[in-house]
Structure 1
Amino acid sequence: MVRSAQKTTLNRNREENIETSDSTADIVILKPKGYPLSSMLDEYPEIEDPDIFEQYARKQWKGFLARKGEYLFDHRMYPDFAYKILDVEPPESVIGMETTIVVNEDDKVPITPEFATRITFEDVIGQTTARRKCKLIERFLEDADRFGKWAPRNVLFYGPSGTGKTMLAKALANKTEVPLLPIKATQLIGEFVGEGARQIHQLYDRAEEMQPCIIFIDELDAIALDRKFQELRGDVAEIVNALLTEMDGIVERKGVCTIGATNRIDSLDSAVRSRFEEEIEFMLPDEQDRHMIIEQNISTFPLPAKEIDLQRVAKLTAGLSGRDIVEKVLKNALHQAIIDDREEVTQELFENAISKLVKKEDTGTLNRLYI
C-alpha cells in the first residue's frame, strides 16, 4: 500500500513537472540518489552503456522542466528510482531529444560545457600575435566541413600564468558560438589506473556530440610531463596514451578542436608536444598593455580612484601578468581603501600594494618581482 500510494504521488508530481518552454536543455547532469523508501529488494540500476541510457532517459523525460537541485524519477525499468539534477544548461530548461544527459556516479566534479561566455576578444588586452593566429581556429569552428584533413585540430597555448590563455579560449567560443569543454589536467588523475583514460575518451565522445566544439585542457603539464616522470604514476601514463590516441585522430572527431595550455612548455613530453600542429605563445604585458589593463579595471572600481599616475603604476608593475596586476595590486589597493574607510583609492595604496611584491636593493630600485 505504501509503495502504491507513493507511486501515485510521484506520477502526479511528474505530470505537474512537464511544462512548455521555448528553452531546450543543452545538457543535464544527474547523480543517482536511490529510492524514496529503502528496501532489501530494491535493485540499483547500474549503467553499463551511457549512450543507451541517454536515449532511454531522453524518451522518458522528454518535455520535463529540469531545475538544478530537483529530482527526476525513473518510471519504466526502475520505477521511482531518483536522480538528482546536479546541473542544467541553460538553467530551468526543458529536456528534449537533443539534450545531452550525463550521469555522474562518483564524487568527481563533472565536466560541464560552457555554452555561452561573456569574454570577448576585446577583453584580452595585448597578445596581438596570439589573437591573430587564433583566426585560423575561428574560421575552422565557423565552417568545420570546409577544412577536411587540413583542420587545426590540436593547438597549444603556452606562456606565463595569468597572461590570458583561458580568456582567449573563452573568447573564441563566444565569437564562434560553440560550446567549450574546459578541464584542468589534474581533474583527470584518478584514484585507480584507467579512470583518467576513461574520462578522456568520454570527454571526446561528448565533444563530438556537440561539435563544432572546443576542448580546453588547462595545466597540461600536470599529466604530459616527460615520460620518465610519468612512470612515477601508472594512471598518468594511461591518461597520456588515451590523449595521444584522441589527438592522433585514430577515431575521427569531426568539428572538435583541442586546445592545451601550459606555462611549462619545456617540460612537456616530446610525444605529446609533437601532436600539436600549432604552438601559440602568450607574453607578459608590456608597459602599454599594463597601462590599458590598469585603466580598464580601475574604471569598474566601486570607489573612485582620482589623480592616479597610471604611467607610474604601469612602470612599477613590470614583470607582472595581467591577472597578477588585477588580483595582487588593484584588488589589494581597493580592499585596503575599504578597510580604512576611505572615500577613494589613492596612488599611495597602489604603490603600497606593489611594494609587497618586490624586493628592494640598497639603492631603492626594484630588483625582483615575486609572483
Structure 2
Amino acid sequence: MTINKDKSKVIKLRVAEALQDDAYKGIARIDFEIMRDLGIRRGDIVKINGGRETVAIADKAYPADVGEGIIRIDGIIRKNARTGVSENVTVERADIKEAKKVVIAPAQRGVMVQGDLKPGLLGRSVVKGDIVVLGGVKRRKDLMGDDFGMDEIFGNLNEMFGGMGIGSFGGGMQQVRFLITNTNPSIPCIITENTEVVLSNKAIEISDESVPDITYEDIGGLTDEVKKIREMVEVPLKHPEIFERLGIDPPKGVLLHGPPGTGKTLLAKAVANESEANFILLNGPEIMSKFYGESEKKVRAIFEEAEKNAPSIVFIDEIDAIAPKREDATGEVERRVVSQLLTMMDGLQNRGKVVVIGATNRLNSIDPALRRPGRFDREVELRAPDKKGRLQILKIHTRNMPLMSALRLSHVNNKLLDLEKSIKELKENQRNTKDKKLLELRFEEINSKKELLNKLIELSKKLFDDEKKNMEVMKTLSNDEFTLLDSIFKEGMMNDLASVTHGFVGADINALAKEAAMVVLRRLLPKLELKEDEPIPEEYLKELIIHKKDFDDALKVVRPSAMREVLVETPNISWNDVGGLTKIKEELKEAVEWPLKFPESFTRLGIRPPKGVLIYGPPGTGKTLLAKAVAKESEANFIQVKGPSLLSMWVGKSEEGVRKIFERARQVSPCIIFFDEIDSLAGKRGMEHGQKVTERVLNQLLSEMDGIEDLSNVIVIGATNRPDMLDAALLRPGRFDRILLASAPTKEGRKQIFNIHTKNMPLAKNVNVEKILDATEGYVGADIESLVREAAMLALRADINSEKVEMKHFEGALKKVGASVSKSDVDRYRKIETEYLRSAKAALEKPNEYLG
C-alpha cells in the first residue's frame, strides 16, 4: 500500500450528481487535467471536504464534463462531505492506509443485520463517521487495478462468472445504510481482505443528520424535471439571499402532475433529502374527518409544524382528493378544506423557508384558485419516460440484482459502431478547438478510444452468434477482457429492454424487474426443500441468477399501467400471417414501421412522418389483420377502437372518449390507434340523416389528429368499407396521409392466403391447388379461409377419423362457399377510388397545397 507524504495541492470544484453506473460505489469523477494537477491517477483516493471531510476513489470525468470544473459524486458521498449539488468542495490527494479494524452499525432504526459484510465493503475507502452501503466491489476492483495491490485488497475473488460473487454481493442488503463508528488507524483508510470488520447489531441513531434514503441517483428519466424542481425548491431553502438580492419572493408551491407511477412522490422525497429540509408528508384522504372543523384543524396543524421546523417541505400527495373544484365538490367538508388550504398557502409568514409540493394525476380536477401564482407558482409535468429515461430507470432497479448478461455478438458490434462514431465526432471537435489544454485532452481521449476500439475488434473475432459458445469463450478471457465484454453485454441487454418497454413508467419498470426475479424463483422453488429454522443452502442461492429470457417472460405479464384499461393483449400477427396485399404491406411499412423504428432518418431529411393511414375495401379483404400485423412488427403499443362503442347518449361523453384515447396514446407512445369501421364515427357533416353526436365526435377527431397539440409518435389507422361516407376534411394531408385500397387478391395473393390457411392441414396428394385458385377468382381472404374450413368439415362429415383433406372435399366446398364480393362491388370501389378519392390522393402528392 503506497503512502503519500508530500504536501498535496488543494483544488476547489463544483458538485454534480453521479450517473447510474457510479451510484453508491464510493467513486468520484474528476477531470483528467485536475487529476494531473492533484498528482493522482485513476483508482487513487481523494479527500473531499464540504462541511466535513470524507474520501472516495477517483475516476476520469465523462467527455461532456471536461473543462467544466465539476466533481460527480453520489448522494451518500455528498452527505458524508456535508455538501449538495451545485455547491463547492475542496479536493486533494489523500494519505491512505490499510484498515486494521473497522466497526460498523446499521444507520436506520428497526434494522437487524447478521452475517459477514466484509465482501461487500472491499476496496471501500472510509473515514470515521461516514455512511456507507454494500456493493460496487467489482467496479472498485476494475478501477484500482494492480497499482493498489489488487490481490492484497480483494483477495481471491475471481470466481465471479455467472452473476454471483463480488459484482452482485449484498442483494437486498444494498438498500441498508451503515455508519462507520470507528476505524483503526483513525486516519482515512481502505478496507481490505486483511481488515477485521466488526458489526454492531444495535442501530445507531444519527441525531443531527438524516440518513439519505432517496437521492437524485435513485431517480431515472427525469433529468429536466429534477433541474426545474431544484431551482424552485432547493435554492430558496438553502440560499434565500439570492431571491432577496433579486427583490422577488421565492416560489411558495410546486404542483407535480402526470400519469401514476412516473415518480412524483419519489422526486419530492429526493428534493427533501438533498436540501436537508424537514419533510412532512400529507396524504390527501388522511385529513378528512367526520367531525365539524376537524379537517381544517389538521391542515392548520401541519402548516404550523412546518413553519416551526423550517426549512420544511410540505408534500401533499393526491391533492385532488382534498382540493377538488368547489363547484363540483359534493360535500361541505371538501369546500372548507380547499378554503383552509388557500388561506394557509397565502398566509405563510416564513416565505422561502416552507415550500409546498402537491402531486396529482388529475390536474383538471383541482380548484383553479390553487393554481394561481402565489400558491402553486409552477406546474411541472412528469411524462412517461423515453428510451434514454427507461434505460436509466432499468439500471436503478437492476443494480442490486444478480444479472447474467445476454452474450450477443450484436451488442459488441453496436459498441464498435458507437466508438467509431464517437472518435469521428471528437476529431471534428479537435479541428474546431484552439485551446492547447483542451486539444491535449481531446488527443488523449481519441487515443484511448482507438485503443479500446482495437481491443474490441480483436475480442469480437473470438466471439460467435451462438450464446452458448460465447459462454465458453468468456471463461478463457483475462480479468480485464472479461470485465470489458461483461459491461458491454449488460449495457446491450438493458438497451434491448429499454427499446421494447414503450409506454412503461418508473413503477412499471420496477414491477418488470420484480416479475423477472419472481420468474427465476418459480423456476427454482420446486427444487428447494424449505425448512423453517434452516437457511437456504448457498449452492441454491448461487443459482438465483436473472437471464434475458426471464425479462422476456416478465414482459408477457407486466403491461404499461396506462394501457391496462384499453389494451387486452398485443396482437400476435406478423406480416407472414397476411397473404397477398404485397403493395399495401410495403406502403404500411413505410408509413408506420419506418417512422417508429428509424425516426432519425426522417429528421435527417427534414420531413415529418405520416400521421394517419386509411385502409378501405370490401369486407373480408384483411383490413383489420393488416393493422394488427403492423402493430406487432413495429413493436408499438396498440389501441383498438370500435367506432360504435364510443357513442354515448350523454352530451360530451363521446368526445371525451376520443380525447382520452389520444391522451393515453400520447402517454404510451409510440402507439398505433386503430379505428375499425371509422365511417360510423366520421360520417359526412351536414347530411340530413346525420346525428349531432357523430358530428361532434368527428370534430374532436379532426382536432386531435391535426390540432394545435402535436401528435408525436402516434399513428392513426382507420379501416372502412364505405369510404364514400367519410367526411372530406379527414382525407386531407396531415390527417390521413395515406389512402390504401385493400382489393380482392390476385391469383398469386390467393395462393399465399391458401398456403397460410392450409399450413397446419394435412392435404392429400390429389389436391390441385392451381385448379382451386382458378375457381376462386373474386374471392377475398375471408372467403378462402371459409372455403378451407368447409373442405375440412366435409372430410370429417365423410369420416370422423379422416386424416387428410382431398380434392373432392374442396370441390364440394366450392359449391357451398361463393365469392362474397361481386364484380359490381369491385367496380364500385374502383369507381370510388377514381372519382371520390382522386382529389384527396392528388392533394397527398402535392403536400404544399392546403385543402381545408
CA RMSD of superposed structures (Å): 3.8
Contact 2:792 2:805 in 1 (8 A): yes
> 1:243 maps to which residue?
701
Match of 1:349 among 800, 809, 831: 809
> 1:107 maps to which residue?
none
2:195 matches 1:195: no
SS of 2:777's equivalent in the other structure is coil
SS of 1:129's equivalent in the other structure is helix
> 1:314 maps to which residue?
773
Runs (5+) with no aligned partner, structure 2:
1-258, 261-289, 291-317, 325-359, 366-381, 384-504, 516-553, 827-852
2:590 matches 1:136: yes
2:570 matches 1:112: no
Contact 2:610 2:715 in 1 (8 A): yes
Runs of 4+ in 1 over 4 A off after TM superposition: 45-55, 62-66, 89-92, 367-371
- Shift in Å, 1:113: 6.1
Distance 2:667 2:767 in 1: 51
Identity percentage of aligned residues: 29
Distance 2:614 2:632 in 1: 19
2:797 matches 1:339: yes
Structure-2 change in CA distance of 1:305 and 1:201 (3 Å): farther
Contact 2:675 2:718 in 1 (8 A): yes
- Shift in Å, 1:120: 1.8
2:777 matches 1:323: no
SS of 2:613's equivalent in the other structure is strand
**Partner deviation per Cα, 1:147-188 (whole Å, 9 max, x = no partner):** 466221122112222222222222222222111112221221
> 2:710 maps to which residue?
252
- Shift in Å, 1:315: 1.5
Structure-2 change in CA distance of 1:368 and 1:238 (3 Å): closer
What pairs with 1:65-76 in structure 2 (closer than 5 Å)? none
- Shift in Å, 1:278: 1.6
Could you tell me which amino acid in structure 2 is paired with residue 199 of structure 1? G
**Partner deviation per Cα, 1:229-288 (whole Å, 9 max, x = no partner):** 486322211211110111113211211111111121122111222231221222211112
Contact 1:358 1:370 in 2 (8 A): no
Structure-2 change in CA distance of 1:151 and 1:114 (3 Å): farther
Contact 2:578 2:753 in 1 (8 A): no
SS of 2:594's equivalent in the other structure is helix
**Partner deviation per Cα, 1:109-168 (whole Å, 9 max, x = no partner):** x531644x3322222222122122223222101134654662211221122222222222
Match of 1:100 among 561, 582, 606: 561
Could you tell me which amino acid in structure 1 is paired with residue 639 of structure 2? L
SS of 1:313's equivalent in the other structure is helix
Distance 1:201 1:146 in 2: 30
Distance 1:119 1:306 in 2: 30
Compute the TM-score of the two structures, normalised by the length of structure 1: 0.66
Structure-2 change in CA distance of 1:63 and 1:272 (3 Å): closer
What pairs with 1:24-103 in structure 2 (closer than 5 Å)? 51=362, 92-93=557-558, 99-101=560-562
Question: Size of the alignment, in residue pairs?
Answer: 287
> 2:623 maps to which residue?
165
Could you tell me which amino acid in structure 1 is paired with residue 722 of structure 2? R
Q: Which has the larger radius of gyration?
A: 2
Structure-2 change in CA distance of 1:113 and 1:181 (3 Å): farther
> 1:299 maps to which residue?
759
Structure-2 change in CA distance of 1:370 and 1:152 (3 Å): closer
Distance 2:636 2:664 in 1: 13
Indicate the structure with greater helix content: 2
Contact 1:319 1:369 in 2 (8 A): no
Q: Which has the higher contact order (CA 8 A, sep 6+)?
A: 1
Compute the TM-score of the two structures, normalised by the length of structure 2: 0.31
Distance 1:144 1:182 in 2: 24
2:644 matches 1:175: no
**Partner deviation per Cα, 1:175-209 (whole Å, 9 max, x = no partner):** 22111112221221223232221111111111111
- Shift in Å, 1:322: 0.9
- Shift in Å, 1:368: 7.4
